[in-house]
Amino acid sequence: MTLYLIGLGLNDEKDITIKGLEAIKNCDYIYLESYTSLLLNTSIEKLEKLYGKKIIIADRELVEKKSDEILDNATQNNVAFLVVGDVFSATTHTDLFLRAKEKNIDIKIIHNTSILTAVGDVGLELYKYGKTTSMPYFEKGFEPETPYDVIKQNKSNGLHTLVLLDIKPDRKMTVYEAISQLLQIQEKRTEKIFTSDLMIVGCARLGSDNFTIKYGKVQELQNNDFGKPLHCLIVPGKLHFMEEDMLGLWK
Ligand SMILES: C[S@@+](CC[C@H](N)C(=O)[O-])C[C@H]1O[C@@H](n2cnc3c(N)ncnc32)[C@H](O)[C@@H]1O
C-alpha cells in the first residue's frame, strides 16, 4: 500500500500532472491539505469530478493532530495526500513523511509547480533569492519582526527576498496589509530598510491567466488594488541589468 504525496500546482484542477492523476485514480482515500494554500480558480466539486473520487478536507488539526488517521489508512490502502503547489515547498510536510517512514509505509512523491518557482515570472534570478520569509497577521502582543530582519539580511548580501503572506480560514493577507505591517515595523527601527520609497514587487495569482505583477515604490504598491488572493511580495536585492529590464515590464 502506498502513501502518495501529490503536488497540485497553483491554478486549477487541470494543473495536476498525468502521473498525479493516475495515482489518485488508484487511491482509496484522497486527502486535500487545505490550510497552507489554495487553488486559485477551481472548487472541490471540480476536483472531485475530475478525479471521480470523494475528497476529504485535511485542515491543520487533521494533519497535525490526527495524522494517525491518514497513516493508518495508508497501511491498508492506497492514500493520496494532495498539496496545492508542490509537496515540500514553502511549508513542509516533513512530519507526515517521517511518521509514514517510521510505520514502514511506502511513499511516492509526485511534484508540481510551487510559488517558489512561479516567482520566476517576475524575472529575478531564482538563484539569487535568499531566505524566504512569511508575514503572519499581527495580533495584540504578537508582532514579529522576523520578515523585516530577513529582508535586511538578504539585502545586505545582495539577495532578493520572497515574502509569503498569511492565510487564515476566513482571510488571506493582501499586499496592502503586508506593506502596512512592514511599515509598522520600520517605524520602530532605527535602520532604514523598508522605507516608503523602497522599490518592491507585488504579485497576485501567479500561475493563473489573471495574474498581476507590479514593480514600484512601497507607497505606490500600497495604493494598488491587486484583486483576489493569493498575494506575495518580493524585495529585490542587487540587480543585474537583465533583471532591471524584466522589472521594467511591471512598472
Ligand atoms: C505556504 S505558501 C504555499 C506553499 C505551496 N505548497 C506551494 O508550493 O506553492 C502560501 C503562500 O504563498 C503565496 N502564494 C501561493 N500561491 C500563490 C500564487 N499563485 N500567487 C501569489 N502568491 C502565492 C501566498 O503568499 C500564500 O499565502
Q: Kindly report the three-state secondary structure assignment for every residue of 95-160.
A: HHHHHHHHCCCEEEEECCCCHHHHHHHHCCCHHHECCCEEECCCECCECCCHHHHHHHHHHHCCCE
Please indicate, yes or no, whether residues 125 and 239 belong to a single structural domain of this protein.
Answer: yes
User: pLDDT value at position 35?
Assistant: 87
Across 8-103, the runs of DSSP E, i.e. the strands, are 29-33, 56-58, 79-83
Handedness of CA 121, 134, 57, 4 (dihedral sign): positive
- Domain span at residue 140 reads 116-248
Which CATH number do you get for residue 123?
3.30.950.10
pTM above 0.85, yes or no: yes
Q: Is 175 in the pocket of ligand 1 (CB under 6 A)?
A: no
Q: Is 165 in the pocket of ligand 1 (CB under 6 A)?
A: yes
How many helices (H) and strands (E) the chain has is answered by 10, 12
Closest CA to 85 of 53, 110, 61: 110
User: pLDDT value at position 61?
Assistant: 86
The dihedrals phi and psi of 91, each to the nearest 5 degrees, come to -110, 130
> Atom 23 (ligand 1): residue with closest C-alpha?
230
Q: Which helix (H) or strand (E) holds 67?
A: helix 67-76
User: pLDDT value at position 237?
Assistant: 98
Please indicate, yes or no, whether residues 156 and 208 belong to a single structural domain of this protein.
Answer: yes
Q: How far is the CA of 137 from the centre of ligand 1 (A)?
A: 15
Among 94, 113, 132, the domain-final residue is 113
Handedness of CA 176, 179, 184, 187 (dihedral sign): negative
Please indicate, yes or no, whether residues 102 and 126 belong to a single structural domain of this protein.
Answer: no
Among 91, 113, 135, the domain-final residue is 113
Q: How far is the CA of 7 from the centre of ligand 1 (A)?
A: 13
Three-state secondary-structure class, residue 172: strand
User: pLDDT value at position 90?
Assistant: 66
User: pLDDT value at position 36?
Assistant: 87
Q: How far is the CA of 164 from the centre of ligand 1 (A)?
A: 7
Please indicate, yes or no, whether residues 129 and 41 belong to a single structural domain of this protein.
Answer: no
The dihedrals phi and psi of 2, each to the nearest 5 degrees, come to -130, 140
Please indicate, yes or no, whether residues 131 and 236 belong to a single structural domain of this protein.
Answer: yes
Contact 226/216 with Cβ under 8 angstroms?
Answer: no
Q: Which residues of the chain have pLDDT under 70?
A: 90-92
Please indicate, yes or no, whether residues 105 and 150 belong to a single structural domain of this protein.
Answer: no
Burial 156-166 (b: 16+ CB within 10 A, else e): eeebbbbbbbe
Contact 160/234 with Cβ under 8 angstroms?
Answer: yes
Q: How far is the CA of 12 from the centre of ligand 1 (A)?
A: 14
| pLDDT tens per residue, range 40-54 | 999 999 999 999 999
| pLDDT tens per residue, range 168-203 | 999 999 999 999 999 999 999 999 999 999 999 999
Please indicate, yes or no, whether residues 235 and 137 belong to a single structural domain of this protein.
Answer: yes
Q: How many domains does the chain have?
A: 2
User: Taking every pair of C-alpha atoms in the chain, what is the biggest distance, in angstroms?
Assistant: 58
User: pLDDT value at position 131?
Assistant: 97
Three-state secondary-structure class, residue 56: strand
Q: Is 221 in the pocket of ligand 1 (CB under 6 A)?
A: no
User: pLDDT value at position 51?
Assistant: 97
Q: For 80, what's the count of Cα atoms within 13 Å in the CB-facing half-sphere?
A: 28
Among 64, 88, 113, the domain-final residue is 113
